[in-house]
Amino acid sequence: MVVLHRSTIALNPGFLIVNTLPGMLLFALFFRRALWKLSRLIETLAERKETTALEVFMTLRRALIAGMCMSVAVSSIQTADFLMNDLAPWTWRYTWFPQDGASHLVFLLSLVGM
C-alpha cells in the first residue's frame, strides 16, 4: 500500500498516519487469513502425498511471506518519511525511494517470486 505522496499542501503527519493505519491493518488481516488457509491446504496436500501441488503451494506461501515482509518494510520507510518534517536540500537524493521505488520493488519481487 503506497501511503506517501508529497505535494504543495502540507498535511499533518499524525493525520496521515491515522488515515493509513486502517488500511495497513486490513492488509495485515488479509495476509494472516491467506497464510492460514494456505497452511491448511498444504497440510491436506501433504496428507494426500500430492508432491507437485505441494511444491507449488509451498512456493506460493514463501512468495506471500516475502511480499508481506517487504510490505512492512516499505510501510515503515514511508512512515519514517512522514515523521521527518525537515526537508533539507539533500533529501531529493532519497525521496524517490519511499514515493515510487519501494512500491515498484515490492511488485517486482512479488512477480519474480510467483
DSSP state of 94: T
Cell of 39: 497452511
pLDDT band at 15 (very low <50, low <70, confident <90, very high): confident
pLDDT in tens, 65-102: 887 887 787 777 777 766 665 555 566 666 666 667 77
Would you say the pTM of this structure is higher than 0.75? no
Rounded CA-CA distance 80/63 in Å is: 26
Rounded CA-CA distance 73/66 in Å is: 11
